[in-house]
Structure 1
Amino acid sequence: MQSNLKGLKFNAYITIIDDTEDEKFRIAIKDNMYTKGLRTTAASKVLYNFIPDYDATVVAKLKKDTRIKIVAKTNMHEFAIGGTNTSSIFGPTINPNDPELITGGSSGGSAVAVAVGDVNAALGTDTRGSIRIPAAFCGVYGFKPTFGRISNYGIIPVSWSLDHVGILSREVDSIRKVYNILKGYDPNDTNTMINLIVNEKRKGEKVKRIGIIKELTEDCDTKTDFMRFMDKLGLDVEEISIPLLPISIEVLDKFRAETAYYHSQFLKDHENDYFPDVLASIKQGFSVSGVDYVRVIMNRDEMIKEFVKIFNKYDLLACPTVPIYPPKVKDILENYTSHLLKFRKMLTRNTSSFNFLKVPAISVPINKFVGAQFIADIGCDEYLLNFVSSLSV
């Protein structure tokens, strides 16, 4: 029987689960999330025939809710190690707003599934921006919650220290609905202890002051679109300098040691099965010294404490989600590895710091290819969603 999913035209899906029409709330999930008895590939030849024997916590929660239908598993950048969605054993995803442009990634299939209207919401993962980047490039909302709010148990990891499960949708209310289903303590993921310690903060308060982050707004191709959007909000908006940002690529790359550790189990037999850009990122992790890795881990909490002081003065922070417009697929594929590594730094410049700092962030569509990113204090997830809900985008 032929599927009616529009996203198939744009290579958004790896596995169709149930695309029958009914009144249920429709969700797609990224193919790095364990699904019991159903293939989970992470868009890689390495796991092409891998079938888990249990569900990821987020999948189990969705299955338990009778209002929800899981429609499909979405295409992605191999092992979620890349921001373009061009490295997939199933082929690149195609941007429905302009097929010549990348969707962004690594949750590009989830962004497309939402953008074309196949589903009400889609799950993605975000290690350095992998939800917010494709959300911006495909003209939808992309939400990364506070680190630990949603369990990562049963998610194929990139970096346990930076990975977040999040949600994409055309509507903030749909994001809120899914967030409320998924959040909470999970004994299988100790990072979710935050749900027992930090309650949702500032839920009923209004946003009054927003700080535009100078370091993440200057030198952006998308600055004009972003500033025009911010001017329309009619709020107290002020440009501020936060010298801590962006967290340097040298600091973030120390977490590639975690990536290398996970993939060490596959490399002996499958090194040639990886895409070149993904393999290069994994191998980079083997060169990280134990001392350097521990130093970053030890310094992280102090950097977070210093950063969140800014929320004593500003309710939210803002910047363009991505500094550049979506590159063309052909520009990346023509000189594959070098172009991917060149674009990766720019794609993640404005997003990756907030994975490191553990704060919630959301990309709000300005137009079909540009997003505005709003950032809140740790634990202010619903506060952030309520603010975005109030905007007439």
Structure 2
Amino acid sequence: MIEKVKTEDLKVGMYVMLGQSWLRHSFMKPNFRITSEKQIKKIIHDGIKEVKVDTSKSEVIEERDLFRDVLGPRDEDTGQIPTQAPPPDSQTGTEIPPPEAGEFNPIDLISEELHQTIQNTSIPPQTKAKEVYDHSIRMMTNVLNDPRADNILSSKKMVYEIVDHILTDDDTAECMALITSHDYYTYTHSVNVGMLSVLLAKSVFEGSYDHNMQEMGAGFFLHDLGKCDIPHDLINKPGKLTANEWGLMRNHPQKGNTILVDTDQLTKECGLIIMQHHEREDGSGYPFGLSKDEIHPYARICSIADVYDALTSTRAYRKKVPTYKALNIMKEEMVGHFNRELFESFILMFK
């Protein structure tokens, strides 16, 4: 279907037909799909007031659905943000589906299987990366299902071994970025962000001995620990979140930090990452509204991986976007949210 749309109402993803000679606009082709806000600004700058849009060729993702995971609510949407407990009929602690019989292995058994996989030099890098990833999924499932002290401690020891392996085995590490799952659950998201963040930290801090990479890795994997009690139907709610629901979502950094304090597992690295991974360079993040150098580099790394995985994962309220489009969205639509040098290093991981 062809529709006429005013240029100020254009959105990224619309397939536009300018209907004018190329001498009268800034584009090589008169018909194309808009991929960035810059292109919309160019159309407006060229003095074009209205264009035709082919809706059958358009792929528009609503801003609300695109950024819900990675940005806080707008004031006009929610007003004040309370942090009350969920209503009595809300099913908490079930974001992770109940395991099938025989699926739930004790975390110490998972740890031993992980160790054997890493130590087996006969396993090809791609296969080893997949097995390490699968063990990590099972590990995070256990921790988020039951975040008691011994489970968290055991999981951190597993992360230490994973981090050491990524740092020393370049072939397996290279495969890690290619095998993340795009089905969104908190445990898959935790592993995806953990793996990508460790890979980025390896690139950025390589050759430096000033960082505890093991504890940093633990912080990356546990960055969303505070979501363990948030209802599954809230995390994947198709519709607009209420002010109370946003409050619960925005409280997960403090909740995760509290869990580590209560279990005596809080370290400087874990605390910085958990509390600051939703802060943004321009001060638009939460919970403190920190900006620029107020945000620790570890949290800056985690925030990039966190947003990327949110965009490339399928959610109940929107489809996943491919890697190139997610990176373009982060570059064009989230200007000022990320440290430029770290983001450029992140892009290079996918070259």
Tell me if TM exceeds 0.5: no
* Bigger Rg over Cα: 2
TM-score norm. by structure 2 comes to 0.25
* Higher helix fraction (1 or 2): 2
Q: Which structure dedicates a bigger proportion of its chain to strand?
A: 1
